[in-house]
Structure 1
Amino acid sequence: MRIVSSRRLTAAIGAALGAGALVTAFPFLWMISGSVKPRSESAAYPPRLLPEAPTFENFAQLFGRLDFGRYLVNTLVVVLISMAGVVLMAMAGYGFAKFRFRGRGPMFFLVLATMMVPVQVTMIPTYLLLNGMRLTNTLVGVAIPGLVSGFGVFLFRQFMSAVPTEMIEAARLDGAGEARIFWRIVLPLSRPILAVQIVLTFIGAWNSFLWPLIVADDDRLYTLSVGVSLLNRQIATSPSLQMAGATLMVVPILIVFIVFQRHIVQGFTLSGLR
């Protein structure tokens, strides 16, 4: 009797979770479906979930008439530049985790304190600094403010604190330098948290909107998110075009998240427990 009731409870929980998943996924399905609808179907009433005559004309317009190819290249360049910050944050986390030096505690407190400062507060000083360095209106200037984050340093420090110190000391006794220890021992052992930070950095750089809009005067330096926002003026005439732009923004993030999902869960769990 208990086994039957337990199976019913499991089935009910599974059905509830499945229904919740469908409700959550429905906007994404509607977005992807709308991106391949012709203009006549996108404005039809009553609306239909699946298109009768699917077409990729909307994507062709994005990359042809609306120059989304340039926006995509700009976004990929910003993502690649931001990935260099992952190595910098890993180095900082390793230093705070395994080195003993004067002022380590106050310095780490300052790193954590940066997490409490809203990004909007630092935009004007950051813009003035980059303007003085003549990096405004450049892709480097778009990427630099998001290069390093206090949260990333904190994650690496928490994870690398659990790396056995004896292993590092043994490598030093064998004559390995600090750079070799970091690249050959510490970084390979930190793959879970490294995958987490790569995903977070990718999402942050891919979705960057406000800062590129501020620092870039030339529309040829806009990112994808800024390009999608420019489609607002066309929403009355071609909602399917906006759906295509939104799909172009969202689908790569979903793919990256699905690929690294196991590493994300493992990395956050281990960094929290250790």
Structure 2
Amino acid sequence: MPEALEKPVPGVEESIALEPLTPTIGAEVQGIDLSTAPDEATLSALREALLEYKVLFFRDQDISTEEHLAFARQFGELEVHPFAPHKEGHPEVLAITHDRDSKGRENKWHSDVTWRECPSLGSILRAIEVPPVGGDTLFSDSYAAYEGLSDEVKEKIEGKVAVHDFAHFRKLMAKRGKTTEEIEEMNRKYPEVEHPVVRTHPETGSRGLYVNTAFTQYIVGMEREESDTLLRHLYAQAAIPEYQCRFRWQKNSIAFWDNRACQHYAVSDYWPAVRRMERVTIIGDRPR
């Protein structure tokens, strides 16, 4: 690693260092072993780094499922995803596997589980098996996406809320043969929710776009055509390269991202190779 890029973390006596991927989003964490519980000073430094860089990356972390869960629990309570497959015996661990028979489907810009009343604080994804090439994940800075808007658009979306829904998973349930009653039960359990189009981060106070192509349906109080046109413009902000970083996975790499401050896009360019990941998700608060 180029010495000039190393950034010691205050208060940790140089036990870890950060190598930023870009000026505003993404940093690789050096000098930490996640198979052992970090001390309070290190945890505090990681929290600060997550708030600053929105996504942290760790290499060569040959950890167990229990150690993965233990690390995530240092940051909050863990959720159980009601639709995605989980690892046997570990309901909090999403098992995300793609191969010849299952092409990747996460290639849309999104923030995790925004269809929940209290969406995710953050997600911690571990690479178990990766393609020889391809399968990168891109992350986009939601603060920069908001700041890059024109004043006219900022004024138009000020105070607006948008409806979020698990429509994609509803279609998958029907495709997998779930009954109308089973789908209706999920509709009752997870009704559509409204979240602000521009979210204020509860810890930093920074404002960022909080709409995404996977789960946002429409902006409340607008004609549908106007809402669709405006949302297409807002969605496109995530695709601007200056707001992004890109991470190339290796076996035992880990990414920890703040869903309140960024979106991500898993590149599905590796079929028919295998990409096998495990994700643990930390419950957040209601967006404001």
- TM-score w.r.t. length of structure 1: 0.26
Instruction: Determine which structure has greater relative contact order: mean sequence separation of CA pairs < 8 Å that are 6+ residues apart, divided by chain length.
Output: 2
Question: More strand per residue: 1 or 2?
Answer: 2
- TM-score w.r.t. length of structure 2: 0.25
Question: More helix per residue: 1 or 2?
Answer: 1
* Pair member with larger Rg: 1
